[in-house]
Amino acid sequence: MIGVGTAVPAFSYSQRELLDIFGITDPRVRSVFLNSAIERRFLNLPPALPDGTRRMETQGELLQKHRTHGIEMGARSLQSCLKQAEADIDDVGYLCCVSSTGFLTPGFSALVIRELGLRPECARLDVVGMGCNAGLNGLSAVSGWARAHPGKLAVMLCIEACSAAYVFDGTMRTSVVNSLFGDGSSAVAVMAGEDEREGPALLKFASCIVPEAIDAMRYDWDDHEGKFSFYLDQDVPYVVGAHAETIIGDLLAGTGLRRDDISHWIVHSGGKKVVDSVMVNLNLTRRDLRHTTNVLRDYGNLSSGSFLFSYSALVDEGTVRPGDYGVLMTMGPGSTIETALIQWRPGDGPRFPVVPG
């Protein structure tokens, strides 16, 4: 992983500001917003009416928002990523775009190629509708392509315009969703056979799906509102927490590593209860998850790209040492937990062979 970049909209709002903007007075809903461990989120809010209230958008308008703001954010995060990777637009040989906040055909990969002028022969993939876990699903595909094309640059681009995916009906279910998500885009550049540029090696991926909890997180059609609506079961944190130890055991199996050997934990900022459940079940400290909780505090849940915001913060922190191991973890609909093992390589390479994704 030789570069990372992030981008958000121009405007951010505190949770209290959002409650005031939408005139929410229900004390139960206000409590959900104000006790979320989120301070601010970057959002593209609905248009303001002459009386200062906000007009609720149609599904068609939301899809247009997904497209317009998605391309703009995606372009900026991709350019930032390439700058850190010391690469040019023409160097990109493979582009995987990940999104769950709308549907487009052709997808973001084609639209971003046209927007930024990537080479027409750039190979591409769109991962659509997998939800918050999808960043690691996409990264697995990107690393596989990079491994098959040594020396060629592959990029994963997560584009999530979460303000283009909402229902505002005053219920507790939609209030929980509307209190949580923010807009953002993130990108990561991957190259195999690269020894000169800094960055961790992707050593292994492990995945776990919980079929009996397949309906715990879902995005489906609401006939009454005429929109797609996201559903979160109140038991999601416990489902994720209960399976966290198993998936980490699978990830480390055969590597000779123990959990204590992991120096850096980059976990999806899924929400306060989800993060707390992972922390307790994996016996992690608040310091271990500092970047996860900081991203949740400053941006909210950014869906598939959240973990790259945390990874970027770790890179900027400058505390990583050669030879350190890290774990990337994302969670989402399925219910699914995705993980990856990474290592900032020492001079003599990794302690064990790279395992295909």
Q: Which runs of E-coded beta strand occur in 32-129? A: 40-42, 92-99, 123-128
**Integer Cα distance of 146 and 91 in angstroms:** 13
Looking only at the bridges linking them, the beta strands covering 153-160 and 184-190 are antiparallel
Q: Give φ, ψ of 233 to 5 degrees.
A: -75, 145
Structural contact between residues 183 and 161, judged by C-beta atoms closer than 8 angstroms: yes
Tokens of 79: 């350019």
Of the candidates 307, 230, 323, 214, the one whose C-alpha atom is nearest the C-alpha of residue 269 is: 307
Structural contact between residues 126 and 107, judged by C-beta atoms closer than 8 angstroms: yes
For the chain, give me the number of helices (H) and strands (E)?
Answer: 10, 13
**Integer Cα distance of 42 and 77 in angstroms:** 15
- Listed in sequence order, the residues at least 6 apart from 8 whose beta carbon sits closer than 8 Å to its beta carbon are 42, 73, 182, 183, 184, 185, 299
Q: Give φ, ψ of 130 to 5 degrees.
A: -85, -15
Tokens of 235: 């038991």
The active-site residue out of 96, 97, 132, 208 is: 132
Please indicate whether residue 96 is annotated as part of the active site. no
Q: How many CA atoms lie within 13 A of 343 on its CB side?
A: 18
- The residues carrying an active-site annotation are 132
